[in-house]
Structure 1
Amino acid sequence: MTVDDRFTGGFRKQGPPTGTRNEIVTGPVSDWATDFSHLEPEWAADPYPIQDDLRARCPIAHTGRFGGGWLPTRYEDVAAIAYDTERFSSRSIIMSNYRPPAEIAPVGATPPISSDPPFHHDARRLLLPAFTKKAVARREEATRAFCHSLIDTLKGADVVDAARDYAQHIPIRVIADMLGFPPEDGPRFSRFVESALEGVNLPPEERMARMDELFDYLYAQIRDHVDNPRDDLTTYLVDAELYGHKLQPNHVAGTIALLLIAGIDTTWSAIGASLWHLAKTPADRERLVAEPALLPTAMEELLRAYAPVTMARLVKQDMHWRGAEMRADDWVLLSFPAANRDPEQFERAGEVVIDREVNRHVAFGLGIHRCVGSHLARMELRVALEVWLERIPVFGLADPTAVTWAAGQVRGPRTLPLRLGRA
């Protein structure tokens, strides 16, 4: 089979499998220990008191929603599950109203994050060259220039939405450049991200239709790269081989979907949460303006305190696990934000200490699925904050009640009104 045969001719898209569907039950939570839901507004607004309470009285919460699931809140439990690929599958990492069938393992719909061993190792290895420190460093100059251009557009404004006017645009441009996608398609990328990560409460048919839209777009871009090869990550994946064969079309498209969605929303959320913290904490903002060399250390603390990502696993078979009677295909939410605030692991866990020296946070995950793009995300976050603090050293929340946060498994500000020039 030639490259053209894989992506042209009679071939259509191969989107995510429909799998076994389960009804989501939403609405007020009666007791977070027995009825948790990460989609509720109080969780989006401030999940940390809920997580602290659960960690103290019920470290592994349960819910009957989503067809059944579990929420560990202690660092040691989150880490144990993240490393245990024998009893927990990664074939779906978004807790939603359907489960992909077990037959799609070990590849999954969006390899390598949806892949189980042994396939995972080889699929991940394909991506490593694009995300080394050296490869990421080559993108810093363009990223910095783009951040300055965004700040230029804010000139003269008293109040700006730092989430939508600044934070979201940075990873969109970086990922578009890496994949060789048109930068003017940025608004589409935002819509794809929100559909994939925040639309899990939609009826399954509507959710699948939205995912179809994403994969239709991806296959159009892939076919364009087949016809017009260039030096970018999409062409690299089209030409890549695994086990002596070119990658299957759904592997190429699934990996690009992962890079597009995860690479945008996680970084957008981290940048926005960091600006939110500095806007509401003048002492930290003023110190970083006065001591810019402290920013890399402060950045790690902001990642710990406001880690955006929670990943899901599926239980492989019925078992008794640390006091929990888990059933096959139960969801497990790995809350890296909760692990990062476990007082058994971190001193002053609930505080933001921007000069914290020892900081083994897990904002980028644990185990085989630790974020392959962590170097890229760190570069984008550092550059975004450096440029903002250099150009706009004084800012504050225009209206704290107007800040909104994304619901679901990637948490970050969706609207962040900041008043410029006055704290």
Structure 2
Amino acid sequence: MTEPTRSTRHAPVKSLPTAWARDYDLYDPAYLENPAAVWDGMRGQCPVAHTERRGGGYLLSRHQDITAVALDPATFSSRAGEVTGPVPEPGRELSLPPVTSDPPAHAADRRLLMPLFTKPAVARYEQLTRDTAAELIAGFGERTLIDGAGEYARDIPVVVTSRMLGLPPQDQARFHTWTVRMLKDGAEDHKVRAEAVRAIRDYLTDLVRSGSLAGSDGVIGHLLARQPDDPTLSHERIVGMSFLMLIAGIDTTWSALGSILWHLATHQEHRAAIAADPGSVPAAVDEFLRLYAPVTIGRIVTAPASIGETRVCPGDRIVLPWAAANHDPDVCDRPGEFIADRPRNRHLAFGVGIHRCLGAHLAHMELRVSLTEWLRRIPDFALAPGAVVEWTGGNTRGPKALPLVIHRATHTGTGG
């Protein structure tokens, strides 16, 4: 690989805004554009920032604090993972087991789904991922300007996750719309979010109650088949698990893939090196996940506690940006640099502790295959001249749109 360079073209924040420590904003334009620079500044000045805006919370920046909270589910509940908006009263949360489950219920919820997310189980969807990637790229035709986020990154996880759930293919467009409205538009407009949540839940509830997917090999069919032996596996619980799959399986993966394409479009030396060596893709994906871990998750305090020198109280929200832990220089050498063959790359892109992402193997497979197929067919591309990329905020960070120029002299079409 070539000599690594900074993953961002922005200088670290030497002095945070005076108000950040007591009034941070996850939708501040500077934070959305380059959160790593803000985390760098926080660690030296206010490792735990506080805000009352957007529902309130405490934002962490150090690896040791983030992992300590994640590894203490008794004190820091997962019952509500949103990082903005009102903290729901106990019992009024959006139930998405096992992500929103605390011990002891968490273990049973996770155990139900684990057989569907092993490496062999995930391998069943590799050809679908590859075929979907090829079809999307073929759909670009002879155009040289495309939206890498809207026309590629977003569609692949929609197809794969829908197939895993066993949902009718004709409903994929609706899932895409609902996901965007809930997680993107709804992050700042809670009325929009509530409408999207209601639409998704109503659809899944009707589907589960109908029993039409009984006997299918998707997630819903898998859970319906276990109902006779598990009296606690209600329709509502199945709907919650399915809802989680629909949202977590789509938004996070498309955000990660969009970030990868953005990096390669703006770091030509990395793009050329990886395109020339397809065998480097798996390690490169792990490094991209470390750099651009898309998820920020919330925890709710259940008992008085301290995070560093900061005291928190029951009902407070704690905000954990996994990427902030990955960028902590105390645990990662040259954290702001892309090093494709980085040794011992123990990133927290998939979280840590009992809630470590159940779909980690699936997400890694989708990213590996999607990137391999893209570079095989489009080895030379760049960010469109003059393009200004805006990033989503809240629970998931990724490019909203990604205008890319394909250099047709090296574009190999469908690749056979």
TM over 0.5: yes
Match of 1:83 in 2: 71
Deviation at 1:121, TM superposition (A): 0.7
1:411 and 2:414 matched: no
Deviation at 1:183, TM superposition (A): 2.4
Q: Distance in 2 between matches of 1:404 and 1:420?
A: 20
Alignment of 1:371-390 (within 5 A): 371-390=357-376
- SS of residue in 1 equivalent to 2:22: coil
Match of 1:60 in 2: 48
Mark the CA change 1:243 to 1:370 in structure 2 (over 3 Å): closer, same or farther: farther
- SS of residue in 2 equivalent to 1:259: helix
Conserved 8 A contact 1:109-1:250? no
Match of 1:369 in 2: 355
Q: Distance in 2 between matches of 1:294 and 1:206?
A: 41
Mark the CA change 1:399 to 1:220 in structure 2 (over 3 Å): closer, same or farther: farther
Match of 2:12 in 1: none
Q: 1:100-127 deviations in whole A, cap 9, x for unaligned?
A: 322469xx61100000000001100111
1:138 and 2:124 matched: yes
Q: Distance in 2 between matches of 1:331 and 1:206?
A: 22
Q: 1:348-369 deviations in whole A, cap 9, x for unaligned?
A: 1111112212211000001110
Indicate which of 260, 275, 299 corresponds to 1:289: 275
- SS of residue in 1 equivalent to 2:23: coil
The alignment covers a number of residue pairs equal to: 392
Match of 1:22 in 2: none
Conserved 8 A contact 1:122-1:242? no
Deviation at 1:31, TM superposition (A): 2.0
Q: Distance in 1 between matches of 2:124 and 2:386?
A: 37
Greater mean deviation of Cα atoms: 226-235 or 173-182: 226-235
Instruction: Specify the code of the residue in structure 1 equivalent to 2:117.
Output: F
Q: Distance in 1 between matches of 2:251 and 2:318?
A: 21
Indicate which of 326, 342, 349 corresponds to 2:328: 342
Instruction: Specify the code of the residue in structure 2 equivalent to 1:90.
Output: S
Q: Distance in 1 between matches of 2:203 and 2:161?
A: 15
Greater mean deviation of Cα atoms: 124-133 or 136-145: 136-145
Match of 1:100 in 2: 88
Greater mean deviation of Cα atoms: 274-283 or 245-254: 245-254
Alignment of 1:32-71 (within 5 A): 32-71=20-59
Greater mean deviation of Cα atoms: 258-267 or 190-199: 190-199
Match of 2:293 in 1: 307
Match of 1:170 in 2: 156
Q: Distance in 2 between matches of 1:239 and 1:37?
A: 45
1:267 and 2:253 matched: yes
Deviation at 1:44, TM superposition (A): 1.9
1:150 and 2:136 matched: yes
Conserved 8 A contact 1:171-1:268? yes
Q: 1:336-384 deviations in whole A, cap 9, x for unaligned?
A: 0100100011101111112212211000001110000000000000000
1:256 and 2:223 matched: no
What is the aligned-residue RMSD (CA, Å)? 2.0
TM-score, L = length of structure 2 = 0.90
Q: Distance in 2 between matches of 1:258 and 1:41?
A: 29
Indicate which of 177, 196, 201 corresponds to 2:188: 201
Conserved 8 A contact 1:67-1:330? no
Q: Distance in 1 between matches of 2:386 and 2:285?
A: 22
Q: 1:79-135 deviations in whole A, cap 9, x for unaligned?
A: 000000121110000123222322469xx6110000000000110011101000000
TM-score, L = length of structure 1 = 0.88
Instruction: Specify the code of the residue in structure 2 equivalent to 1:93.
Output: G
- SS of residue in 1 equivalent to 2:58: strand
Q: Distance in 1 between matches of 2:213 and 2:247?
A: 25
Deviation at 1:228, TM superposition (A): 5.8
Mark the CA change 1:117 to 1:417 in structure 2 (over 3 Å): closer, same or farther: same
1:112 and 2:98 matched: yes
Q: Distance in 2 between matches of 1:38 and 1:192?
A: 22
Q: Distance in 2 between matches of 1:227 and 1:311?
A: 31
Match of 1:394 in 2: 380
Match of 2:414 in 1: none
Q: 1:149-196 deviations in whole A, cap 9, x for unaligned?
A: 111101201100010111111000001111111223223222222233
- SS of residue in 1 equivalent to 2:19: coil
Q: Distance in 1 between matches of 2:373 and 2:45?
A: 43
Q: Distance in 2 between matches of 1:103 and 1:298?
A: 42
Q: Distance in 2 between matches of 1:413 and 1:326?
A: 33
Mark the CA change 1:242 to 1:132 in structure 2 (over 3 Å): closer, same or farther: farther
- SS of residue in 2 equivalent to 1:419: strand
Runs (5+) with no aligned partner, structure 2: 1-16, 411-416
